[in-house]
Amino acid sequence: MKKEEVPQDSCKSYSGHKKLIYAVDEQGHYEGVKSSGWEVEGFATEMAVKALDEQLAKATTEYQQGEISALGYYIPLLRFDLMSLAHATGFFQWQIKRHMTVAIFNKLSDKKLMKYCAVFNVS
């Protein structure tokens, strides 16, 4: 993208900030250019945040009704997915899914619970 083509659409997801984007100048060299946003990127970001908020609302309801463990609530609250939580804790994804069951979660050892606490930064 050329320097003069960097979008300046003033996205509300930027909250008035600017983002550094690299573009090509007149000599063909890359140069950092500040952008106030791109409408398409802003729309995609809003849709992603909306989907995450819906996941959290569903998890909150399921947790309050005793259908999932606290782990199932913290995952969307802190914007984790199974893969990232597996990397952070060292558990396999299938183990994490199993730990989201209330009966299994209630039987977890302190050592396993402490791994989750450390990743989620809770006591």
Q: What are the tens digits of pLDDT across the range 73-97?
A: 999 999 999 999 999 999 999 999 9
Tell me the per-residue pLDDT of 41-67, one tens digit each, with 9 for 90 and over: 889 889 999 999 999 999 999 999 999
The answer on pLDDT for 101 being more than 90 is yes
Instruction: Count how many domains the chain has.
Output: 2
Pair (53, 109) in one structural domain: yes
Q: Are residues 11 and 67 in the same domain?
A: no
DSSP string, 94-113: HHHHHHTSHHHHTT--HHHH
- Please indicate, yes or no, whether residues 29 and 68 belong to a single structural domain of this protein: no
Pairing mode, if any, of strands 19-24 and 30-35? antiparallel
Whether 21 shows a pLDDT value over 90: the answer reads: no
Spatial separation of the C-alpha atoms in residues 100 and 62, rounded to whole Å? 11
Give yes or no for residue 19 having a pLDDT over 90: no
Domain of 87 in residue numbering reads as 42-120
Same domain, 7 and 67: no
Q: Which of the two residues, 75 and 11, has the higher pLDDT score?
A: 75
33 and 46 in a common domain: no
Residues 89 and 103 both lie in one domain: yes
Quick one: 59 and 11 in the same domain? Answer: no
